[in-house]
Structure 1
Amino acid sequence: MPETSLTVLPRQVADDYVDALIELDPITGTYLGVQESAGRLPDFSPAGLEALATLTRDTLERLDEAERQPGAGDEAERRCARLLRERLTAQLLVHDADENLCAVSNLRSPAHSVRISFTVLPTATVADWTAVAARLRAVPAALEGYRESLELGLERGMRGGPRATETFVGQLTEWAGEGGTDTVGAGEAGTGAADGGEAGTKAEVRGWFATFASEADTLGDDGTDGAVPGELRRELAEAGAAADRAIVALRDWMRDVYAPAVAGAPDTVGRDRYQRWSRFFNGTDLDLDLAYAYGWSEYHRLLGEMRHEADRILPGADPWQALAHLDEHGAHIEGVAEVQEWLQRLMDEAIEALDGTHFELVDRVRRVESRIAPPGGAAAPYYTGPSEDFTRPGRTWLPVDGQTRFPVYDLVSTWYHEGVPGHHLQLAQWTHMADRLSRYQATVGKVSANTEGWALYAERLMDELGFLKDPERRLGYLDAQMMRACRVIVDIGMHLELEIPADSPFRPGERWTPALAQEFFQRHSSRPPAFVESEMTRYLSMPGQAIGYKLGERAWLLGRANARAAHGDAFDAKAWHMAALSQGPLGLDDLVEEISKL
C-alpha cells in the first residue's frame, strides 16, 4: 500500500485498494482486463486469505485518515467512502469469523473461480495462449491452497454442508472427465495430441482444463490451423493435464477426507451466521423476520396475478399446469446455436427500443454478447461484465445441460434480467463511468443485492413498459418473480428454522427444513427437479445471497417512488434511470437514501 498522505482522499484510497487487490487476486485482474494478471492465480491458502484481510484492515485505517481531510465532504468522495467502508467492514466480518475456511458450494468457491476465469481470458494471439499456459501451470498450487484452507476450517469447526460437499464432488468429477479418473496420465496423451500424433486410448476422456488447452490446436492469432507453435501447444497440453490431475486430487480429498468429516453436520447455518452473510450480500443489517414476512406478502400477491395469466393460457388451470402446458405446446426455440442467436437478437432489440426513450446509452455500453455456458456449473444463467477498456464486452451465459429445446416463456424476462436492461446496462454503465466514479466503485465494489435488485427491477420495468403483453411471456415473468419471492421465504426460513405462517397453503404451523423448502420450491416453480435441486444447494451454501433479488428490487422501487413523489409531474424516468445507474454501487439502505434524492 502507498504511504499515507495528508492530501489523499477517499476515492484515491479506494483505487489504491483495487491496485493492491489485483496483485493478490489476479482473477479480479482478469475480469478487469489487466494483461499482467492473465498468467497468475490467487493464493487461496490461509496465508493468502490473511494477506487479503491485512489489506482490508490497512485500507480502513487509510480511509479513516482520508475522511478527515479537506475535500472529503465532496459528494463523490462521500459516496465512495460510504461504499468502501461498508464493503470492507462486511468482508472483515466474514473473514474474522473463519467463514472463508468452509467455502464449499455448487456455485461459489475458489475452484469455481479458477475454472470460470479461463472462460474470460483472451485467446486470440500466441501471447494470449502463453499466458493461458502459465495460468494452467498455476492451477495445482491454487487448488492446494484452497484445500489447506478447508483443512484449517475442519480443525476450527467451520465445515461446509454435506449436501454442498456431495454436489461439489460431483462437479469436480465432471470437470475431471467421465468417471473422474486421471485419464490424461502424466501428459503423454495430451502431448501426442498437441504434436499431431496419436493420442492413444487414454485421450478418449479428457478433463475440462485439457479440453480448454486443446483449443489452441486450431485457434491462433490469425485464425488458421496451427497458428500456435507446436512447442507452445505441447506446453499447453501438459499444463492442462496437470490442472486436470489437480482437480482429480481435490476431488479425491473432498470425497475421502472432507465428506466424511462433515457427514451429519447441518446444511443450514443458523441465525448468527446467516445475519453475517446477509450483511455481506445485502450491504445492510436486515431485520430478517420482517424480510421473511415481506417474502410471504409478495408470494400471495404474485400468486393472484399468476392465476389470472394462467387462465388466459389454459382456462381453469393453475399456474404450474399452464406452464407445463407451455413446455409442450408453447413457443420455443430448437437448437443450441439457434437459442444463442435468438437471445442475441432479443438483447439487440431491447437496446434499440430503450435507448433514447428510457435510457441514454453510449456505443460501448450498447454492445453485449450471448454465449453458451461451459458444462459442469450450476443450472442458472449468469452474466460477466466487460473489461475496463471494453475490448471484452459484457456477456450473458446460458447453461444448456444437454437441452436442445428451449421454451420462450422461460427465457425472455431472464434475459431482460441478465442482459438488457438488467445486469449489462448497470454494470457496463459503471465501467463506462469509472473516470467520474472511482475504479473501485466501477469494478470490485459491488453489492450483490444492489445488482440483483436492479436486474429484477429491470424485469418489472419491461412489464410496466408493455414488453410482456403476450400471456406466455408474462406468465414466465411472473414465474421468475415467484421464484425470487420463494427464495426469500425458504432461504431465511430454513436457515433460521422459522415457522410457516398460518395463512400459508403449504404446511402451516410447521418449521422449515431443507427438505420442506425443496418441496415448497418445486411446487411453486416451472423448473425441472434438477434445476430446483441445484438452486436449493446454492441457497444452503450461499446463505443470505438469494434474498437480495427481491429485497434489492424493493429498494429500487422505493427509491423511484420517493423521487417521483418529490418531483411530481416533473419526474423524468429516463433522467432518473441514468442518474441512478451512474452513481455506482451501494448497500440497500444507502441505495434508497441516495436514489430518492435524484
Structure 2
Amino acid sequence: MTPDSSRLTRPASAIDDAANAYTEKLLALDPGFATELGLPGYETEYRDFSPAGLDALAGAARRALAELATLEAVDSVDVVTLHAMRERLGLAVETLESGWPLAELNNIASPVQGIRATFDLMPTATVTDWEHISGRLANVPAAVDGYISSLRAGAAQGLVSARRQVDTVIGQCERHAAADGFFAKLAGGASLTPETVDAGASLPAPLTAALAANADLARAGYGALVTFLREELLPQAPLADAVGRERYSLASREFLGSAVDLEETYAWGVAELERIIAEQEAVAGQIRPGATIEEAKALLNADPARQIQGTAALTEWMQKLSNAAVAGLAGSHFDIPEIMRSLECKIAPTQDGGIYYTGPSDDFSRPGRMWWSVPEGEDTFTTWAETTTVYHEGVPGHHLQIATATYQSGLLNNWRRNVCWVSGHGEGWALYAERLMDQLGYLADPGDKMGMLDAQRMRAARVVFDIGVHLELAVPARWGSGTWTADTGLEFLRRNLDISAGQLDFEFNRYLGWPGQAPSYKIGQRLWEEIRDARALRDGAAFSLRDFHTEALNLGSVGLDTLKAALLG
C-alpha cells in the first residue's frame, strides 16, 4: 500500500459536521488544547479554569448530545462516531455533575501541570513565536486564579484531594515559582532556532524584557497557588488516599470507555501478575542457568554494553532504536506513510519523572515527540530496561496510533482525530504493541525481553495496587494480609516495580492521585488482545494481522466498548 492510497476519504456527513462544530467550540473554550494540536489562532490564552469554565464545557457537551440525538448515521464511520460521542460526552457531563473536576489536583495530570506544560509544545523558531510565549506567560496568573476558585468551590462541597497530593503539588509549584525555576529558565534561555533564522539573529531587546517581566508574573501566579494550597486547602485535605467505589467506578469508566467488573478485574490482575513473574523466571534462566529474576537483572545492569551515560547519549540511543523500528515495521506489519515516519526523541524540560509522547501538529510540521523526564541526579540508564519503552511511546505504540488518526483527515472528523482520547484504548494499544514486538522477534535478546516483562509486570501490579488500595480490597496471600492501604501498597510496588527511588515516588503518588488511570493500560491490553483473537477466530484463514491493525488504527481513539462494537459488530 502506497502512502497516497493509505489516506482514505469520504464525504462529510451531518454527524461529522456536528462533531466538527463541537470540536471548534472546545478549541474556543480551551486554547491550550489548540496549542497541543498545533493549531494557530489560540497562542496566548488559557481556558477558564474556574467553575464557570467547567460549566461552559458541560453546556457544550449537552448541546452536542442534543444535536446528535436528531441525526441518523449514513455509513459505518458515522455509526462509530455516534457510539463514541454518546459514550464520551455523556460520561463527561456525568463527571462534571459529580463535582470532582472542581477538586482536580494530583502530581501528573491536573491544571497545575497543564498550565505549565503548554509551553513545552509552543514553537520557538521566530520572534512571533516568542511574542506568543510572552503573552501566555502574562496570562498564567489569571489561569491560576480560576483554578484556585474551582478548588475553593470544590472544598465548599467537601471535595478535596488527599493531603498527600496537596503536599506533592505544593513542592512542584514551589519549584516553578523559584527564581531558577521553569518560567525563569524559559525566559532567560529565549533564543531563535538557528536552523530557521539568519546566523547571529537575536530577539529584540523589548521582547527580551517583556519575557523576563511576564516570567516573573507567571512565577508569582504559582507562588500564589503555593500560598493557597498550604494555608487554605491543605488543612481541609483528607488523610485517606483511597477514593472509594463511587468515585473510582466513575474514573474507571472515564479511562476505559467500558464499565468493567472491578472485583473480577482485580482477581484477573492478581493472576496476570503471577503469570508474568513465572515468565520472568524462565527468561532469567536463559540469562544464566539457575539465576533468580533479581540475579539476572543484576547481571544485565552490570553489563557495560547495556549501559548509557548521560542524557545526550540516551537521546541518541532512543532515536536510533526508534528509527530502526519504523524502518523495520513499515510496509510489513503496519502501513506507515512517509509523513508519519519522523519521530523526535527528546529530554523533557522538567525533572518530575516519567516518559510520555506528544502527537504531531495537524499538518505534521511539528512531528510526534517522545519525551523523557529525567529525575534530578539520575545520569545512568540501562538499555535492556528501556528498549520496550521506546516501542511503547513510539512505533508501533503511541506514535503510530496517534499519528494515524491525525493523518486520516479525509476519513475521520476532527473530534475523532484530535479530541477523543481514551486511556484504556491508547495505553492498552501501547502495551499491546510491546508484547507484539516480542512476538515479531524484536525482543529476541533475553535482556530486552526481561525489560518488556518488567514493564508488563509493573502494569499488572498497578491493576492490583490501584483497585486494591482505592476500594480497600483484601491483600493476596503472596503479598501480605488484611486490606490494602497506601503503606502496604508502597511495599508491594517496591517488590514489583524495578525503578529508581525517584521514579517509584512519582509513580506511587500518581496512582493514589489519579485513580483508575494506571490500570487502564493493562486492562486495555487485555481487551485489545481479546478483540484481536475474537476477530481472528471469526475470520479464520482470511484473517490478516496487518489489515486488522490498519482497520483498528483508522478508527482513531475510542472507548473500548466502541472499539469492540466497531471491530466485531
Q: Could you say whether these structures have the same fold, taking a TM-score greater than 0.5 normalized by the shorter chain as the test?
A: yes
For 2:288 and 2:494, how far apart are their aligned partners in 1?
21
Greater mean alpha carbon deviation, residues 106-115 or residues 523-532: 523-532
- Check if 1:390 corresponds to 2:395: no
- Is 1:171–1:376's contact at 8 Å kept on the other side of the alignment? no
- 1:224 positional shift: 4.1
Which residue of the other structure, out of 484, 487, 491, is the alignment partner of 1:515? 487
Deviation at 1:500, TM superposition (A): 2.0
Please report how far the alpha carbon of residue 9 of structure 1 lies from its aligned counterpart in structure 2 after TM superposition.
2.3
Provide the residue aligned with 1:198 in structure 2: none
Matches within 5 A, 1:32-431: 32-67=37-72, 72-177=73-178, 183=179, 206-217=180-191, 219=193, 222=197, 224-262=199-237, 264-329=238-303, 331-377=306-352, 379-401=353-375, 402-431=377-406
What are the ranges of 5 or more consecutive residues in structure 2 without an aligned counterpart?
Answer: 1-11
Give the superposition deviation at 1:63: 1.1
Query: Is 2:481 the partner of 1:505?
Result: no
Of all paired residues, the percent bearing the same amino acid is 39
CA contact (8 A) 2:126 2:192 kept: no
**What are the superposed Cα offsets for residues 120-144 of structure 1, whole Å, 9 maximum, x if unpaired?**
1011111111111111111000011
AA partner of residue 233 (structure 2)? Y
Letter aligned with residue 231 of structure 1: P
Cα contact 1:217–1:225 (8 A) shared by 2:
no
Verify the 8 A CA contact 2:354 2:374 in the aligned structure 1: no
Q: Structure 2 CA distance, aligned partners of 1:479 and 1:318?
A: 14
Residue 3 of structure 1 corresponds to which residue in structure 2?
none
Superimposed CA distance per residue, residues 239-271 of structure 1 (whole angstroms, 9 cap, x where no aligned partner): 011101111111122122211221x43111000
1:92 CA drift (Å): 1.3
Rounded to whole Å, the distance in 1 between the matches of 2:199 and 2:271 is: 58
1:12 is aligned to 17
Specify the alignment match of 2:3 in structure 1.
none
What is the one-letter code of the residue matched to 1:418? E
The CA deviation string for residues 345-372 of structure 1, in whole angstroms up to 9 with x for no partner, is: 1110001100011011111111110010
- In the alignment, is the contact (CA less than 8 A) between 2:127 and 2:192 conserved in 1? no
Provide the C-alpha distance between the structure 2 equivalents of 1:589 and 1:76, rounded to a whole number of angstroms. 15
* 1:313-340 deviations in Å (ceiling 9; x for gaps): 2443432343244333361112211110
How far apart are residue 34 of structure 1 and its match? 1.4
CA displacement, residues 99-120 of structure 1 (integer Å, 9 cap, x when unaligned): 1111111101112111111011
Q: Distance in 2 between matches of 1:176 and 1:493?
A: 36
Q: Does 1:496 align with 2:496?
A: no
**Partner of 1:195 in structure 2?**
none
Q: Do 1:324 and 1:526's aligned partners in 2 also have CA atoms closer than 8 Å?
A: no
1:218 touches 1:224 (CA, 8 Å); kept in 2? no
2:478 match: secondary structure: coil
Secondary structure of residue in 2 paired with 1:39: coil
Q: How many residues align?
A: 555
Q: Secondary structure of the residue that 1:48 maps to in structure 2?
A: helix
Q: Structure 2: which amino acid aligns with 1:498?
A: L
Range that drifts further, 247-256 or 26-35: 247-256
Residue 529 of structure 1 deviates from its aligned partner by 2.5
**Aligned partners of 1:422 and 1:455 also within 8 Å:** yes
Alignment-mate amino acid for residue 366 of structure 1: R
Whole-angstrom CA distance in 2 between matches of 1:118 and 1:553 = 32
Return the alpha-carbon distance in structure 1 between the equivalents of residues 13 and 441 of structure 2.
48
* Structure 1: gaps (5+ residues): 1-6, 178-182, 184-205
Correspondence for 1:527: 499
Q: Give the distance between the partners of 1:359 and 1:89, measured in 2 at CA.
A: 34
When structure 1 is superposed on structure 2, of 208-217 and 310-319 the one drifting more is: 310-319
- TM-score scaled to structure 1, two decimals? 0.90
Who is 1:536 aligned against? 508
* Aligned equivalent of 1:199: none
Letter in 1 for 2:97: D
Which letter maps to 1:88?
L
Cα deviation for residue 223 of structure 1 reads: 5.7
Q: Which has the higher contact order (CA 8 A, sep 6+)?
A: 2
Any idea what SS the aligned residue of 1:11 has?
A: helix
Separation in 1, partners of 2:30, 2:295: 47
| Conserved 8 A contact 2:58-2:96 | yes
Q: Secondary structure at the match of 1:397?
A: strand
8 A Cα contact 1:434 1:441, kept in partner: no
CA positional deviation for 1:527: 0.8
After superposition, give the CA deviation of every residue in 1:1-56 in whole Å (9 maximum; x if it has no partner): xxxxxx97222111111100000101110011111111111110111111111111
* Residue identity matched to 1:83: A
Q: In 2, are the aligned partners of 1:320 and 1:526 still within 8 Å (CA)?
A: no
1:556 to 524, 528, 533: 528
Q: CA 1:224–1:106 in structure 2 vs 1: closer, same or farther (change >3 Å)?
A: farther
CA distance in 2, matches of 1:376, 1:48: 30
8 A Cα contact 2:124 2:191, kept in partner: no
Q: Is the 8 A contact 2:351 2:374 kept in 1?
A: no
Give the deviation of 1:219 after TM superposition: 4.7
1:223–1:530 distance in 2 versus 1, CA, 3 Å: farther
Alpha carbons 1:207, 1:241 under 8 Å: kept: no
Amino acid corresponding to residue 505 of structure 1 in structure 2:
R
Letter aligned with residue 328 of structure 2: A
The residue identity in structure 1 corresponding to 2:126 is T
How far apart are residue 594 of structure 1 and its match? 2.0
Structure 1 letter corresponding to 2:55 = E
User: Distance between the aligned counterparts of 2:526 and 2:198, measured in 1?
Assistant: 48
Distance 2:543 2:396 in 1: 20
Q: CA deviation at 1:434?
A: 2.3
Shift of 1:431: 0.3
Structure 2: how far apart are the matches of 1:217 and 1:461? 42
Question: Could you tell me how far apart the structure 2 residues matched to 1:273 and 1:42 are?
Answer: 25
Structure 1: how far apart are the matches of 2:509 and 2:355?
Answer: 16
Partner secondary structure for residue 37 of structure 1 = coil
Residues 16 and 227 from structure 1, CA distance in 2 versus in 1: closer, same or farther, beyond 3 angstroms?
same
Which SS does the other structure have where 1:105 is aligned?
A: coil
Structure 1 letter corresponding to 2:555: Q
